[in-house]
Amino acid sequence: MRRKHKDRELLGDTSGRDVSWSQAVGMALNRPGLGVMLMVAVTAALVLAGMWNLPTALLLVAALVAAVGLQLASPGFWARLRAIRASPAPVLPETLEFRDQSVAELIGRLRRARQARERAIARSPYPRGRGLGACHWSVAALERQAIVAAARADYVRIALEELPEGGWSAHGEGREAVRRLEARGAALMATLEHLAAVLEGLPARLTNLELLRIEEGDRLLGSDPAEAERELAQLDAPTD
């Protein structure tokens, strides 16, 4: 599956990183590892059943079903599920998907940048989807660009690592081809570094913008109510 993702991403196709229904359900339940948890529980129940400990096995299954059922019935679950499915944000790759350590470290930075951004959005006094949450389309585009750059950088750096020693260095054409490949690898790493830096800076930038919104609301408190409402509506309008 990882190889399939990487091959498509080399060609610029990140659709394999779209959030699946099972991932969305796990995220909406605030349990991204829900599938693993269910598999472990079912395995444990089967082991207990194999040991003829049927009452304990049935109790384990019933408790698991009840816990998941309670969350599925919660008022916020379906709203979270719809929001996750509507979001363009890709599932970010794991660092272990990359052989090159430098590329893996930059992927780790992307993952931490998303966590910091989500914390900044969660701190907002406004409902999700207003203010900070309105930037998710452009941020998702940056993340998808970074995924493609990472796949290509890893591809080039592995190719350079696996070159046979000696032979190519004795020939002018070989040296030139390797230099071009090194230049492409360096350019891809620079692109990935730039995208990571932009995404890392977003939480502070977004929080500054949110504070300006809050302070603008303070300034309008003494204004005519109708005028204040019009100005705040303009402030809430999505921007390109």
What is the per-residue pLDDT across 25-39, written as a single tens digit (0 to 9) for each?
Answer: 555 555 545 555 556
Whether 50 maps to a domain, the answer reads: yes
Whether 10 maps to a domain, the answer reads: no
SS (H, E, C) 30-93: CCCCHHHHHHHHHHHHHHHHHCCCHHHHHHHHHHHHHHHHHHHCCHHHHHHHHHHHHCCCCCCC
Out of 86, 104, 123, a domain closes at 86
Q: Are residues 117 and 231 in the same domain?
A: yes
Query: Which one is predicted more confidently, 195 or 32?
Result: 195
Q: Report the pLDDT averaged over residues 226-234.
A: 60
pTM score above 0.85: no
Q: Domain range holding 40?
A: 20-86
Whether 66 maps to a domain, the answer reads: yes
